[in-house]
Amino acid sequence: MTNIGSQEHPVVVGIDGSASALDAVRWAAREAERRHAPLRLVHVCFLMPVRHPRQIAPPPEYHDAILEQGRHWLNQATEAARTTAPDVPLSTDQRDGVAADVLIRESLTAQLVVLGSRGLGGFRGLLVGSVSVALSAHGHCPVVVMHGPGGAGTPPENGPVVVGVDGSPLSDAAVEFAFTAAAERGVDLVAVHSWMDVPMSAGWASLPDTIDWEFVGAAEARRLDEVLAGWSEKFPEVVVRKVVERDRPQRALLKASAGAQLVVVGSRGRGALTGLGLGSVSQSLLHYAECPVATARVETK
């Protein structure tokens, strides 16, 4: 049965004409189908405004061409969505403005925003600092950025869902999102807890007898068990594989995400230090993961 709340909050996809955006459309169409939610395709074009008499405005033909190009890309995206999930309610919108700003506003009423990772430039390194990172850091709902193995756009559908767990409110939101995703897909959940956030091993190498690493590891494993206990009760059908490592979180998650269909991390939202909410872990995954990366939301003040 269709969930009324889901009908009110669509899955939104940012469209820019790239192959990566079409991969995002297909993934989002399947996700909307699972959630019994409508799908909304949004393309944002920047039409140069005339704010000063001396400013030379682009000719009308330029604006017309930009708008026509956007309509063409939305038509392509619509075809991809219809082919993937023909029964999902679908709407499209072409907006004028700055893509990150428009999509952040869209995230106020969305239950999920999905984006391609590359854009038309095709350079993966351009991701950081782009629309995807802006949405992941400042959006009001979970954001999924598409990646695929070896740069391809399609992750393995039988792979597990991976989530980073540190016991904080940030990871609580990620754990909830990840359990739900694993349950909906009928796959295992790999819960990764890394308990060394800085590379101190080299500095401590000269003191091998002063630290009982097995004792620390056992304590961290118990901590992970405590965090997951309530969620496992809520989702008894989900098989959980626990990974506890003395490693940096981004490296542990990247290793665990090999062969996964989704990796989930937390993000702070709009607090005063919101840039830190999308820190090295999230940014490393957005750069290098070979599966879609979801950032789950925790709003801070």
pLDDT at 265: 92
The CATH number of residue 50's host domain is: 3.40.50.620
Q: Model confidence over 242-261: pLDDT tens digits?
A: 999 888 888 899 999 988 99
Residues 136 and 213 in one domain: no
Residues 133 and 254 in one domain: no
Residues 156 and 298 in one domain: yes
Nearest alpha carbon to residue 96 among 50, 127, 63, 145: 63
pLDDT at 121: 46
Residues 138 and 241 in one domain: no
The reported pTM is 0.84
What distance separates the 2 farthest-apart alpha carbons in the chain? 75
Residues 154 and 298 in one domain: yes
Q: Model confidence over 48-69: pLDDT tens digits?
A: 665 555 555 566 677 788 889 9
Sign of CA dihedral 22, 110, 64, 47: negative
Q: Strands, DSSP E only, in the chain?
A: 11-15, 39-45, 90-96, 112-115, 143-145, 161-164, 189-194, 240-245, 262-267, 293-297
Residues 291 and 220 in one domain: yes
Distance, CA of 237 to CA of 179 (rounded, Å): 10
pLDDT at 105: 95
Can you say how many angstroms the Cα of residue 62 is from the centroid of all Cα atoms in its chain? Answer: 34
Residues 67 and 83 in one domain: yes
Residues 293 and 155 in one domain: yes
Number of domain units in the chain: 2
Distance, CA of 162 to CA of 257 (rounded, Å): 6
Residues 176 and 266 in one domain: yes
Q: Residues in the chain with pLDDT < 50?
A: 1-6, 121-129, 269-277, 301
CA dihedral 113, 141, 105, 8 (to 10 degrees): 80
Residue 122: helix, strand or coil by DSSP?
coil
pLDDT at 202: 52
Task: Tell me the H-state helices in 92-212.
Answer: 99-106, 131-138, 169-185, 201-204
Distance, CA of 296 to CA of 301 (rounded, Å): 17
The CATH number of residue 157's host domain is: 3.40.50.12370
Q: Which two tokens stand for residue 13?
A: 């996809």
Is residue 187 left, alpha or beta, with left meaning phi > 0 and alpha meaning psi from -120 to 50? Answer: beta
Sign of CA dihedral 123, 129, 134, 136: positive
What is the H or E stretch that residue 149 is in? none
- Which residues constitute the domain of residue 300? 150-301
Residues 111 and 172 in one domain: no
